Structure 1
Amino acid sequence: MDWDKLRIFHAVADAGSLTHAGDVLHLSQSAVSRQIRALEESLDTTLFHRHARGLILTEQGELLFDATSAMVKRLDTAAARIRDSEEEVFGQLRVTTTFGFGTLWLAPRLPKLYEKYPNLKIDLMLEERVLDLPMREADVAIRLKEPSQADLVRRRLMTVRMRLYATQAYLEAAGTPETMPDLHDHRLICQNTTSAQVNAGAALVQELLTHDVASTLTVNNYFGVLQGVLHDLGIGVLPDYLTEDFPNLVRVLPEVESNEVPAFLAYPEELRQSKRVAAFRDFVTEEIFEHRRRMKAQRDV
């Protein structure tokens, strides 16, 4: 259906007169009349009853006017939002990240973001599969490796290492390992080396398993590993960004850790000017800066 004809129909229905609609649209009465006739022909119906004192909508015309009124209202709202978007952050933002980072680090911090931007609608997609940002499968990604896709804006957020943690209760009951071979007498909680995870984490687990660990619990994500550790089941391989939010975790074998894993935030080049993306990017960056500052303060104590 031709939007230009609908626009003219709406103006005529609103004004109740071809002449008055023509004045609003800066068109001649004959031009407006031709567009209305063409629209009626395309719909195979009559939209107006024509009277000497003006035009009255038919039943079919009222149905169409209801639809165009809703469209005009939505367009006016969109235009107002666009004008206000220099100051306002609103609308949907699709964020993708790994299950572990999303559940253990990002989600607990989102209340601060919503408090600042209550009209933001975040669709948080947690999966190990790397979504195609240029094809707009998501708007923003946080990944524990540098994105390889082209036409992306990238920002390195932080460095993560996988380390060994347990609860004090577990260590008091089972003892604290002093060397890697001591892991033989403990239960290791980790991701299976074949499950989706960063290479550095899988490499560390493979190394630990060479020490003839007697008992293991493998989970396909770090949230499950953390739950096992918190319930005193054993020693877990976990990312070091957890230590602030879970201060009861005790690091085991401090010399044992994975290689560095870089965390990157990325989004398509075409969203560089997006207020939603900028708000989320700045929020995550600020949270990580504050996390680093607090961790440094703890180490300096």
Structure 2
Amino acid sequence: MQKNTNQKLQALNWDDLRYFLEVARTQRASAAAKRLGVDHTTVARRVRELEAVLGVILFDKSRAGGFTLTADGQRLLSHADTVETAVRSASEQFAGASQGLSGHVRVGSTEGFGCFFLSPQLARFTAANRDMSIDLLSVPHFISLSKREADMAITLERPERGQYVFTKLCDYQLRLYGTRAYFQNHKPVRSVADLQNHAFIDYVEDLAFSHELLYLKRTIPNARVNLCSTSVIAHYHATLQGTALAFLPCFMATPNPALVSVLPEEVVVTRHFWLSSREELRNLRRITSLWDYLRATAEANKSLLMGESSQMNYVDP
């Protein structure tokens, strides 16, 4: 941005930045309008006016990509996000503990954990806290807290750098699964050596977003793979067709009676989920409450996560 940007920023009000932030996060004027409770033409107009005040282009706009932040937009995002955090923190402090939770939280998660575990848990959390809304980003790639793609993230690996607060959320296990029908039609598996006679479903190795996902190659060298996908949910549904075996998280596979674990005491992988948040957000009430709730739900479901139970448990939000 130009040198006089700081002077221009001082002339802005919070309402200007609210419009900018919602468009930056949703990348669509229509989606931002829905969140703000206004018409999408109002959002587009306010963005144009903000760009005129600052004398820069904040978004590249296209039909396919929507509103994509420019380099100047990325720099403003950092300032606007800081202002939003300060405003909300002050609001929470003055509102006092007598008021219920409110506000919006965006949670990033691995795909399988988000869809099979977090979604039912968060549905109960939002039902109990009607003034809160949550975006659950269950995707087969990393969610970046530094780029403000989410307020909180559940990841396979611990954050190595950056201004984050983090904790180990839980351990979980993966085992090798096939359907009952599969084992009726294929050679029995009595030892690890017998697995050489079977086909497997695995990740696309060069597109795996974390080396933590490549457990088949490390656990069963030279395994014969006949189907690869970047999605663990695709692995799950492909396994249910009864044509091959796959490593699946126990919390996904154990509740389905059609799936049977293979050599569960010998072929097992233990991994961890990490919960993290940007440091400046951690003390916001809505972040703290959701953080504590997620830790409580993980604790209550140790048996499910470790493949010792097929029952999901719930805690009071």
TM-score in terms of structure 2 length: 0.61
Do the aligned partners of 2:141 and 2:209 also contact (CA within 8 Å) in 1? no
Q: In the alignment, which residue of structure 1 is the partner of 2:287?
A: 277
Q: In the alignment, which residue of structure 2 is the partner of 1:257?
A: 268
Distance in 2 (CA, whole Å) between partners of 1:133 and 1:115 is: 26
Do the aligned partners of 2:103 and 2:133 also contact (CA within 8 Å) in 1? yes
Q: Return closer, same or farther for 1:186/1:150 CA change in 2, 3 Å cut-off.
A: same
Distance in 2 (CA, whole Å) between partners of 1:224 and 1:174 is: 22
Aligned AA (1:242) = M
Q: In the alignment, which residue of structure 2 is the partner of 1:96?
A: 108
Q: In the alignment, which residue of structure 1 is the partner of 2:118?
A: 106
Distance in 2 (CA, whole Å) between partners of 1:235 and 1:120 is: 41
Distance in 2 (CA, whole Å) between partners of 1:95 and 1:273 is: 16
Q: Return closer, same or farther for 1:187/1:287 CA change in 2, 3 Å cut-off.
A: same
Q: In the alignment, which residue of structure 2 is the partner of 1:291?
A: 301
Do the aligned partners of 1:145 and 1:261 also contact (CA within 8 Å) in 2? no
What pairs up with 1:1-301 in 2 under 5 angstroms? 83=95, 87-211=99-223, 213=224, 216-254=226-264, 255-258=266-269, 260-293=270-303, 298=308
Shift of 1:121: 1.4
Q: Return closer, same or farther for 1:182/1:95 CA change in 2, 3 Å cut-off.
A: same
Do the aligned partners of 1:162 and 1:201 also contact (CA within 8 Å) in 2? no
Aligned AA (2:237) = Q
Instruction: Describe the SS at the equivalent of 1:161.
Output: strand
Shift of 1:207: 4.5
Structure 1: stretches of 5+ with no match in the other structure: 5-74
Do the aligned partners of 1:193 and 1:205 also contact (CA within 8 Å) in 2? no
Instruction: Describe the SS at the equivalent of 2:95.
Output: helix
Shift of 1:139: 0.4
Higher Cα radius of gyration: 1
Shift of 1:295: 6.9
Q: Return closer, same or farther for 1:219/1:297 CA change in 2, 3 Å cut-off.
A: closer
Shift of 1:100: 2.4
Deviation per residue, 1:205-261 (Å, 9 max, x gap): 3553514x2x52111111000011122232111123324533542111220133x32
Q: In the alignment, which residue of structure 2 is the partner of 1:23?
A: none
Q: What percentage of aligned pairs have identical amino acids? A: 25
Q: Return closer, same or farther for 1:148/1:118 CA change in 2, 3 Å cut-off.
A: same
Distance in 2 (CA, whole Å) between partners of 1:296 and 1:3 is: 52
Q: Return closer, same or farther for 1:222/1:184 CA change in 2, 3 Å cut-off.
A: same
Do the aligned partners of 2:187 and 2:197 also contact (CA within 8 Å) in 1? no
Aligned AA (1:116) = A
Deviation per residue, 1:278-299 (Å, 9 max, x gap): 2221221121111115678957
Shift of 1:87: 3.7
Do the aligned partners of 2:202 and 2:216 also contact (CA within 8 Å) in 1? no
Aligned AA (1:155) = T
Distance in 1 (CA, whole Å) between partners of 2:209 and 2:137 is: 16
Shift of 1:101: 2.0
Distance in 2 (CA, whole Å) between partners of 1:188 and 1:194 is: 17
Q: Return closer, same or farther for 1:186/1:157 CA change in 2, 3 Å cut-off.
A: same
TM-score in terms of structure 1 length: 0.64
Do the aligned partners of 2:250 and 2:305 also contact (CA within 8 Å) in 1? no
Do the aligned partners of 1:85 and 1:275 also contact (CA within 8 Å) in 2? no
* RMSD of equivalent CA atoms: 3.2
